[in-house]
Amino acid sequence: MDQSRFFKSEAIVLKYFPLGEADRVVTLYTPGEGKVRAVARGVRKVKSRLGGHLEPLTRVRVLIVKGKSLDVVSQAETLTSNIALRGDPWRTACGLYLAELVDGFTSENLGNPPVYQLLRQVLETVGRTDDPDRALRRFELQLLRLVGYAPELHHCVECLADLAPASHSFSAAAGGILCPSCRGSDPLGRSLSLNALKVLRLFSSSDLQTAERVRLAPELTLELEHTIRYYLCYLLERELKSTAFLDLLRREREAGERRSGKSEAGVSSRSR
Ligand SMILES: [Zn+2]
């Protein structure tokens, strides 16, 4: 048997779409081969051996058979189920958003083991933490660094001057910060507070434990989310599909917290 036609790997399921009556095309992210798309035959049948193992956000061990046109998932075994996420719509929405980012920023058959480790780590964090926002922001910035799109956060991207402690502008088109003198060069740039810039810098280089210790006021949380999302959408040249659901759930959570009086008690900024 020609071994080169097979490849065995750990993988995280990013998404799938149906193919024909009973099959699915599954998008996996692997450490060594990067993004892999493969057909899972018969997976939608009740008695399928593969079925339960190939749900999005599941960490699996797979055996892939390389085909001339399409690769095929021959075997799949769950290593970490996504149950921790699936029981909770908010965490699931966060996980699907992370999967969409990895899908959007990576290429097929181009291995990048640190991206795999980053995704695996952030999914574990989202499964256990009450406040996934910081882990999500850190993930976005570190993913951008690993795929070569890290924003410039220390010098003005126009005049190259060191950035003074002040409010600046974030330019997606220029790939980083514009100083107050240069902000006019990109009218579509977004104002960025000094605190937001400091957190962007910290999350770009910090480990997860450090990032999780940072306390963010609700308005700073939103500023960071909107700034990074503006940059991500510019790079991807499209809106992110999963953010509409994420935003809807966030509004519902906040409304629920207000009803239960948490906001008045000042808890909401930490528990979201
Ligand atoms: Zn400048």
Ligand 1 centroid from CA 105, angstroms: 29
**Separation CA 270–CA 204 (nearest Å):** 21
Ligand 1 centroid from CA 155, angstroms: 8
Burial (CB count within 10 angstroms: exposed 0-12, middle 13-18, buried 19+), residue 88: middle
- The answer to whether residues 251 and 146 belong to one domain is yes
Ligand 1 centroid from CA 51, angstroms: 54
CA 148 to chain centre: 15
Weakest mean pLDDT among 57-61, 130-134, 223-227:
130-134
Ligand 1 centroid from CA 171, angstroms: 12
Ligand 1 centroid from CA 179, angstroms: 4
At which of 64, 83, 102 does a domain end?
Answer: 83
Ligand 1 centroid from CA 81, angstroms: 48
Element (H, E) at 211: helix 208-213
Task: Report helix, strand or coil for 11.
Answer: strand
**Separation CA 68–CA 70 (nearest Å):** 6
- The answer to whether residues 139 and 47 belong to one domain is no
Residues found in the chain: 272
Ligand 1 centroid from CA 142, angstroms: 25
Pick from 127, 145, 134: which is nearest to 83 by CA? Answer: 127
Helices 113-128 and 89-105 cross at an angle (nearest 10°) of: 170
Ligand 1 centroid from CA 239, angstroms: 29
Q: Evaluate the CA torsion angle 143, 146, 149, 150 in order and state its sign.
A: positive
Ligand 1 centroid from CA 159, angstroms: 4
- The answer to whether residues 46 and 92 belong to one domain is no
At which of 83, 111, 131 does a domain end?
Answer: 83
CA dist list (Å): 79 to 112, 201, 221 = 20, 34, 33
- What pLDDT, in 10s, does the model give residues 198-244? 999 999 999 989 998 999 999 999 999 999 999 999 999 988 888 88
At which of 33, 60, 83 does a domain end?
Answer: 83
Number of domains in the chain: 2
- What pLDDT, in 10s, does the model give residues 243-268? 888 888 888 887 887 787 654 443 33
Is residue 172 pLDDT above 60, yes or no? yes
Residue 224 belongs to domain with CATH number: 1.20.1440.120
Q: What is the pTM of this model?
A: 0.89
Residue 244 is predicted with a pLDDT of: 86
